[in-house]
Amino acid sequence: MRRKSYSKLSFVQLFGIYPCRSSVPNVSDVHLRCNVRRATHYRGRRRVITCCFEETSPDKEKGELVAADMQTAPGCDSFSDPFDSLAPRHFINLTNGIEALPHISAIVSPDELRFTRIQSSHCESSAYNKLLASLDTELLFSLACGRACYVYDFASRNKCRGVPRALFLGLQFVKWSLSYLWFKGEEDMIPEKVFVRGNNTVPFWRDQVMPHMIEKDTKKRIRYFAPFAKERGLLHVRLHGVYGRVSAIDGHKSVHVKIVHDWLAQEDVSRKGHGEEERDLTECFRAQGLAEFQADLTKEELVTIQEWMEGFRSQS
């Protein structure tokens, strides 16, 4: 058994995610078969995360996750992307995605995790408008800024393929829709083919869903983020899905709650173990010319605070 240690190991390197060529119509699946260990140490005030993993036999299931890389921009044959220097964002898809917490916590620190909810029920009922309207704001903004975003989920019904519907349909539709609404008029930026279970769904999405099933307010909300994407020179939406074995606890909310409780407890122990102390945020705000809003403040007090802010700005 070989053991390798990587400092600042990128998520792409660790999970072995590579984009499929434009000539390959199906989804590219790459299996991770290793035990991951994460260690945190400090260099002065700088926290350094070291990821170690031990290679295991292909038939070992423990800790195995699968990265489902969604379709990339046409002609994109490698991960040489000007946005690779941006830190990725990791989103746990509620509720079954909670099962990924013990695995992803070995790679990503707790304060780097985000949570979202892309409902498979919206996919099953073809409620495309609800699917887009309920997208998380931080997810949309991160994608518009060019960050790679990974959404973690576990399937509950399809025990053969094992891919959650929220990923093989929901994320595919979201990724195409963002490209369509952000880059409309620039046809080379919008994927012409997106395969869902072997079928190209773009004609249906373009001719039926977008003009007849997506409400005006939903399109307006999505287009709000378009200027950020265009200003950044975004070439394609970097949205990826990651999944594991078929869930064995689907519908058992108490078990999901227990997993989250244990995860939060582990985070608390980790922070105390490294001597991280609670900061006085009020003083931090004042040092930057900011103030926490308090609803019980009088008009005179608010005016006084605003005058102080103006004086702070003129001095800085």
The token duo for 58 is 């292909």
Return the pLDDT at 51.
40
Q: Which tens digits make up the pLDDT trace of 123-142? A: 999 999 999 999 999 999 99
Contacts of 255 (CB under 8 A, 6+ apart): 249
Return the pLDDT at 230.
92
Q: Which tens digits make up the pLDDT trace of 175-233? A: 999 999 999 888 788 999 999 989 999 999 999 999 999 999 999 999 999 999 999 88
Contact 236, 190 (CB under 8 A): no
Is 57 or 143 the better-scoring residue by pLDDT? 143
Indicate the helix (H) or strand (E) that contains 14: helix 11-15
Least confident interval from 73-87, 91-105, 125-139? 73-87
Give the number of other CB atoms < 10 A from CB of residue 139. Answer: 20
Return the pLDDT at 65.
61
Does the bond joining 95 to the residue before it have cis omega, within 30 degrees of 0?
yes
Q: At 43, phi and psi to the nearest 5?
A: -120, 95
The token duo for 179 is 């490209």
Give the number of other CB atoms < 10 A from CB of residue 276. Answer: 11
* Amino acid (1-letter code) at residue 119: Q
Contact 60, 71 (CB under 8 A): no
Q: Burial, 97: exposed, middle or buried (Cβ in 10 Å; 0-12, 13-18, 19+)?
A: buried
Contact 96, 164 (CB under 8 A): yes
Q: At 191, phi and psi to the nearest 5?
A: -55, 135
Q: Which tens digits make up the pLDDT trace of 249-285? A: 788 889 899 988 888 887 777 666 555 566 788 888 8
Q: How confident is the model at residue 109 (pLDDT cuts 50, 70, 90)?
A: confident
